[in-house]
């Protein structure tokens, strides 16, 4: 299952704090369609019915079935640039 670093959890909490439903909001990672290797990340107010939910330290990530499979052995990290823009990075889970 996808894991979140402390940096990613904090970034997700920061992003969802300003949403209308912060208690249920998270980020959603979804595929671009069947057979596509591209994933997109968007803010979501709730999971879709088939989504897998990953919750760490109050941060929620909703994964569609394709994304859940692609990311099952990965870790999500986050960082910010000098302007404060957040970027997410998928890495291999450390042993």
As given in the structure block, the two tokens for residue 48 are 């879709």
Q: Please tell me the distance from the alpha carbon of residue 36 to that of residue 48, in angstroms, as a whole number.
A: 19
Give the domain extent around 19.
Answer: 3-92
**pLDDT classification of 22: cutoffs 50, 70, 90:** confident
Q: Please tell me the distance from the alpha carbon of residue 73 to that of residue 33, in angstroms, as a whole number.
A: 21
- Of 7-11, 17-21, 22-26, which has the strongest mean pLDDT? 7-11
pTM strictly above 0.85 = yes
26 pLDDT above the threshold of 80: yes
What is the domain-level CATH number for residue 71?
2.60.300.12
CA atoms within 13 A on the CB side of 73: 3
Q: Which residues pair with 44 in a beta bridge?
A: 26
Task: Report the domain count for the chain.
Answer: 1
């Amino acid at each position: 299952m996808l894991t979140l670093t402390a940096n990613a959890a904090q970034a997700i909490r920061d992003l969802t704090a300003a949403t209308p439903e912060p208690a249920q909001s998270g980020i959603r990672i979804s595929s671009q369609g069947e057979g596509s290797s591209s994933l997109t990340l968007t803010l979501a107010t709730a999971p879709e019915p088939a989504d897998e939910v990953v919750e760490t330290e109050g941060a929620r990530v909703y994964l569609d079935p394709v994304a859940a499979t692609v990311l099952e052995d990965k870790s999500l990290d986050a960082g910010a640039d000098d302007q404060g823009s957040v970027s997410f990075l998928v890495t291999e889970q450390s042993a």
